[in-house]
Amino acid sequence: MSYYILGILFLYVGIGVCVTYGGTSRGVLFFFATPMILIVCLRGHTGTDTSAYYTAFMDLENDNGYGGEPLFNLFSRTLWWIDPDPRFVVNGISLTTAVLTLWGIGSSRYGAWFGGLLLVPAMFYELTMNVMRFGLASAIFLLATEVSFDKKPLRYFSFAALGTGMHFSSALLFILFILVTKRGNTLIVLMFAAVALCASFLMPDYLSDKTDLYTGLVAPNASSGLMFLVLQASMLVLLFRFRTQFRVPPAGLWLCGAFAIAFYGLTQMTYAGIRFQLLLVYLMSVVLMRQYTPRDGRMSKRLAACLFFIGLVAMMGRFHNMLDEEGKGASPFLPYRAIPALEESQ
C-alpha cells in the first residue's frame, strides 16, 4: 500500500507548487507524478483485470485481441509488433493512459485543483491498472473536452469516434458531456446517440457477450456502489454551492442527479451498474474542471478545501477496496508486484 500512498503524496507536493504559482504547470505536474507513472508502467501481476489482459494478449500472435473494440485491438497489436510480450502491451497501454490523462489535466489552468486534488486520487490507479479500455477511452475524452464543441464540432466528434473505438461504453461520456454542459443541442445529441445505437446493432455477438457476462455478476450487497453515490452527491452539492462559478445549466445538474440515482439502482441488480457509476464520477469530475470560470480568476480556498476532501474520501474508498481484495485473484492490487525482472534484481 505504501507505494500507492507515496505516489499520491508526492503529487500533492507538485499541486502545492502549482497552487503557489497560481496556475497549473504541465512540467511540474509531470515531474511530481513520476512515481505514480512508474508504479503503473513497471508493474507485474498487479491490478484486478491485469491477469485477464495478460491472458488475452498472449493470443495476439494469432490475431486475436481483448474485447470487440477495433481501435483498442489495433493499438494492442501495434505494441505487440514492437515487443511481443503481454507485459509490454499491458504496461504500454497503462503508460499511454497515464500520460494522456496528465496531459489533459495540465491543459487546464485549474487542472492542479480539479485533476490533482479530485480526479487523480479518486481514479488514477483504477483507470491505468484495472479498467484499461475505459481508462484509455476516458483519457481521450479528457483531451476532447479541451475542444469547444460549439466552435469545432468535427474535432470533438473525431475524438468521440477515437474514444468509442477504444471502449464502446465511453460514447456515453461524449454524449452526456454535451447534455450536461450545453443548451440547445438536443437534436445533435439525439443524432449522436442514434449513430452509436445503430453501430451497436452491427455487433450482436459483442452485445450478447456483455449481456451474458453481467447477467451472471450481481452486486454483493445493498451497499455496493454506495461510495460512488456519495461522491456523485458531494460533487452535486459542490456545484449547487458554487453554482455561479460553473458554466453548468440547471438542467445539467438535475440530469447528473437523475443518472446518479438510476445507476445506483442498477447496481442492486447487476454489476454493470458499478461500471456506469464509475463513468458518471469521471464525467462529473471533468465537468467541474472544464466548466469552472471564477469571476476574479482565482479559486477560493473554500472550494479547494472541498475538492481536497472529496478526493481524499474517494482515495480512502479506493484503498479500502484494495485492502479488502488483498491477495485475492490472480492479480490483486495488493501486494504490489513489479515486473519479474525488477523483482529478481532486488
Q: Is it the case that residue 52 has pLDDT exceeding 70? A: yes
DSSP for 132-160 reads HHHHHHHHHHHHHTTS-TTT-HHHHHHHH
User: How many other C-beta atoms lie within 10 A of the C-beta of residue 133?
Assistant: 22
What per-residue confidence (pLDDT) applies to 59?
A: 81
Q: What is the pLDDT averaged over residues 324-330?
A: 89
Give me the helix-helix angle, 272-290 and 132-144, nearest 10°.
20
Tens digit of pLDDT for each residue in 212-266?
444 555 555 556 688 999 999 999 999 999 999 999 999 999 999 999 999 999 8
DSSP letters, 160-195, are HHHHHHH-GGGHHHHHHHHHHH-SS-HHHHHHHHHH
DSSP string, 320-335: HHHHHTTT-SSS-SSS
Residues 267, 233, 167, 249: what is their CA dihedral angle, to the nearest 10 degrees? 130
Work out the average pLDDT over 87-102: 96
Contact in structure between 122 and 311 (CB atoms under 8 Å):
yes
Three-state DSSP class for residue 49: coil
pLDDT given for residue 211 in this prediction: 47
Residue 221's pLDDT is what?
Answer: 55
- Distance in angstroms between the alpha carbons of the first and the last residue of the chain: 18
> pLDDT digit string (tens) for 251-287?
999 999 999 999 999 888 887 888 899 999 999 999 9
Angle at 276 between CA 24 and CA 255, to 5 degrees: 75
Mean pLDDT computed over 68-89: 91
pLDDT at 183: 75
22, three cell numbers: 497560481
**pTM above threshold 0.85:** yes
pLDDT in tens, 28-41: 999 999 999 999 99
- pLDDT value at residue 345: 43
The cell numbers describing 331, all together, are 492479480
Q: What is the pLDDT of residues 189-217, one digit of tens each?
A: 666 666 656 655 555 455 444 544 445 55
Tell me what pLDDT residue 149 has: 80
60 falls in which pLDDT band (50, 70, 90)?
confident
The helix (run of H) or strand (run of E) holding residue 233 is helix 226-241
- Over residues 129-148, the pLDDT tens digits come to 999 999 999 999 999 999 88
Distance CA 344, CA 346 (A): 6
Radius of gyration of the chain (CA): 20
DSSP-derived 3-state class of residue 13: helix
What Å distances lie between residue 177 and 27, 138, 171, 280, CA to CA? 28, 12, 10, 10
Residue 346 has pLDDT above 90, yes or no: no
**Domain range summary for the chain, segments of one domain joined by +:** 141-202
Measured at the CA of 11, the angle between CA 296 and CA 134, to 5 degrees, comes to 90
Question: Band of the pLDDT at 339, cuts 50, 70, 90?
Answer: confident
Q: Which amino acid is at 96?
A: T
CA 134 distance to own-chain centroid: 7
Percent residues over pLDDT 90 in the chain: 60
